[in-house]
Amino acid sequence: WDTRSSNYTKPSHVVDAHGAEVNCLSFNPFSEYILATGSADKV
């Protein structure tokens, strides 16, 4: 969600990348466009 927007009832982006629950999420401290995820499906 983008809390800077007046319409933050919907997510600003959705990534459908895992088939099981996501267990961890890490944002890249050097690039606002890169993040890493880990999940039970090991993708």
Model confidence pLDDT, tens digit, residues 14-31? 888 888 998 999 999 999
Residue 35, domain member (yes or no):
yes
- In angstroms, how far is CA 33 from the centroid of its own chain? 10
**pTM score, whole prediction:** 0.57
Structural domain of residue 32, as residue ranges? Answer: 18-42
Residue 3, domain member (yes or no):
no
Residue 8, domain member (yes or no):
no
Residue 33, domain member (yes or no):
yes
Q: How is residue 41 written in tokens?
A: 């499906």
Residue 29, domain member (yes or no):
yes
Residue 32, domain member (yes or no):
yes
Q: What is the DSSP letter of 18?
A: -
Q: How is residue 15 written in tokens?
A: 């990534």
* Number of structural domains found in the chain: 1
Residues above pLDDT 90, as percent of the chain: 33
Residue 5, domain member (yes or no):
no
